[in-house]
Amino acid sequence: MRNYPLAFAIASSAALILGGCTNESEESAAQSTPSGDGPVEIEFWYAFGDKIGENNEALVEEFNASQDEIVVNAHYQGDYADLHSQTQASVAAGNAPHVTLNEIASMGAFAEAGMTEDLTPYIENDDVDLDDFVEGLMGNSYVNDGIYGLPYLRSTPILYLNKTLLEEEGLDPEGPQTWEEFEQYSETLSNDEGRVGITLPVNVWFYEAFVKQSGGSVLNEDETEASFNEAPGVEAVDYIKGMYDSGSIKVPTGDEAGQIALQDFSNQQSAMAFSSTADLTNYMSIAEENGFELNTAFMPKNEQFGTPTGGANLVMISSHPEEEKTAAWEFIKWMTEPEQTITASQNTGYLPMRQSAIESDEMQALYEEVPQFKVAVDQLEYAGPRPLNANYSEAQNILRDAITSALIQEDVTTQEALDEATERINGLLN
C-alpha cells in the first residue's frame, strides 16, 4: 500500500528503464487497433495472484466475450508496490496500460502527477448512479474536485480467529470486542510451547485503525501535519508494546513479516491474525487444510470501533488517444457494475462496493450460508478513507520504522520515536 510523488515516479521509471526491466505487459501496452480495423485493444494491469488474480482474469474474459468492440489484455504485475512502480515507469516510457489499479492511498499521488484521468465527465455522460456505491468506499475516489477512480477490489482489515483453539481455551469463539478483551485473549492463547495469541507485523494500515479506535487520526484534517504523536497514536503503540513485552504477541520485522504472520496462523502457532477481508477465501482454505474452524470479527474497539478502508480503485491512465480512453471507460464501467461486484466479492472476500450488490439475493444468501463474509460489510459503519497526501507513501515508511523502534528498542520511548517521525514527516507532507 504505497504511493509515490512525481519526482519518485520519474526516478523509479528511469531506474527500471535503465535496468532493462521489460516484461510482456510493457511490450504489449501500446497495442491498440484503430476504429474500423477491428476491435480496440486496451491493456489492464492488476496486482496479486492466486484467487484475486484468477478473479481478474475471469472477469476480463467475460467482458471480452460480452461484446465485440473492445479487447482487454490483462497482465499481472506483482503487489501494489510493483504495480505502481511499473505503471509509473511505463508512463515515462510512453507504453502505459489504459486501465490499472491504484491502491487507495496512492490515488492522490497519481492524480496530482497527471498520470490518471478525471472520470467525472464519463460518469456524468453515462449517468452512473454514484449513490449506489457504498458511501464508506468512495472517500478515496475524490482528488481535489474530480473523481479519479471507482471502487473495485476494496477491503478493510478484520480479525481472523482460530475458532477451534478459542473453544479449547474456553474463550468465546465470536472473539474479543474490546482492547481489554483482546489482550486477555492473547494472554490466554499463548503457551510455553511457542504459541502466541497473535503474530502482528508492524503495519501502518493496522496502526491507522488502532489510532482511529482511540479517537485520533494519523494526520490532521487537511493532511498538512502528522498527528500520530498525539495521545491516541502514542496509546496505540504502547498498547501493542505492552503485549509484546509480556510475550503474548509476536512482532516479526523485515520484508517477510507478513508471510511469517500468515505461516504462524496456518501452523496454529498463533490463534489470531489481522488481515484484509480480501484474504478471506484464502484463510478459509488454510483452515480447512489444517483442520480447524475459522471465524472472523471486527477489529476490537478502544473508545470506539474504527478502521480504514483499503484495497484499490480502477483508474484510467491519461496519456492515450480519446478512442482508447472511451474503450477504457467502458471496461471500468462494466467492471464496477453490481453483477461484477457480486462475482468479485464471492470469489475473493473483497467488499461489494455497490449497495445494490450487498442487498442482492446472491450476496444475502452467501451471508446466510457463510457469515464470515458479512463481518467486513458490517464493519463499514465504522470505516473511513486513508490519507490522500501525495507523499504519504514515504511518510508511511518513516512511521513504520518509528513504531518498530518504539516496540523493540528498550532505550527509545514511544513518544520520542513518534515525535522524531512527526518532525521528518511534516517536512514531506508540505
The CATH number covering residue 339 comes to 3.40.190.10
Flag whether 242 is in a domain. yes
Rounded to a whole number, what is the largest CA-CA distance in the chain? Answer: 71
- Residue-wise pLDDT for 307-337, tens only, equals 999 999 999 999 999 999 999 999 999 999 9
Instruction: Please indicate, yes or no, whether residues 266 and 408 belong to a single structural domain of this protein.
Output: yes
Query: Which strand (E) or helix (H) includes residue 296?
Result: strand 294-297
Residue 169 CB-density burial (10 A; 0-12 exposed, 13-18 middle, 19+ buried): middle
Q: Which domain holds residue 358?
A: 6-154+310-376
Count of structural domains, the chain: 2
Instruction: Please indicate, yes or no, whether residues 166 and 263 belong to a single structural domain of this protein.
Output: yes
pLDDT at 46: 96
Q: Which three cell numbers stand for residue 348?
A: 475473493
Instruction: Please indicate, yes or no, whether residues 103 and 218 belong to a single structural domain of this protein.
Output: no
Q: Which three cell numbers stand for residue 237?
A: 503503540
- Residue-wise pLDDT for 44-66, tens only, equals 999 998 888 999 999 999 999 99
Flag whether 330 is in a domain. yes
Instruction: Please indicate, yes or no, whether residues 164 and 290 belong to a single structural domain of this protein.
Output: yes
Q: Nearest to residue 201, comparing CAs of 413, 404, 406?
A: 404
Instruction: Please indicate, yes or no, whether residues 198 and 304 belong to a single structural domain of this protein.
Output: yes
Flag whether 382 is in a domain. no
Flag whether 171 is in a domain. yes
Flag whether 384 is in a domain. no
Instruction: Please indicate, yes or no, whether residues 180 and 270 belong to a single structural domain of this protein.
Output: yes
Instruction: Please indicate, yes or no, whether residues 16 and 142 belong to a single structural domain of this protein.
Output: yes
Q: Which three cell numbers stand for residue 412?
A: 527509545
Flag whether 119 is in a domain. yes
Contact of 345 with 358, CB cutoff 8 Å: no
Instruction: Please indicate, yes or no, whether residues 191 and 138 belong to a single structural domain of this protein.
Output: no
Instruction: Please indicate, yes or no, whether residues 87 and 234 belong to a single structural domain of this protein.
Output: no
- Residue-wise pLDDT for 88-121, tens only, equals 999 999 999 999 999 998 999 999 999 999 999 9
Instruction: Please indicate, yes or no, whether residues 94 and 201 belong to a single structural domain of this protein.
Output: no
Contact of 137 with 351, CB cutoff 8 Å: yes
| C-alpha–C-alpha distance, residues 320 and 337, integer Å | 24
Other Cβ atoms within 10 Å of 54 Cβ, number: 12
Residue 3 pLDDT > 70: no
Residue 154 pLDDT > 80: yes
- Residue-wise pLDDT for 329-363, tens only, equals 999 999 999 999 999 999 888 999 999 999 999 99
Instruction: Please indicate, yes or no, whether residues 215 and 319 belong to a single structural domain of this protein.
Output: no
Contact of 192 with 305, CB cutoff 8 Å: no
Flag whether 386 is in a domain. no
Flag whether 340 is in a domain. yes
Instruction: Please indicate, yes or no, whether residues 142 and 243 belong to a single structural domain of this protein.
Output: no
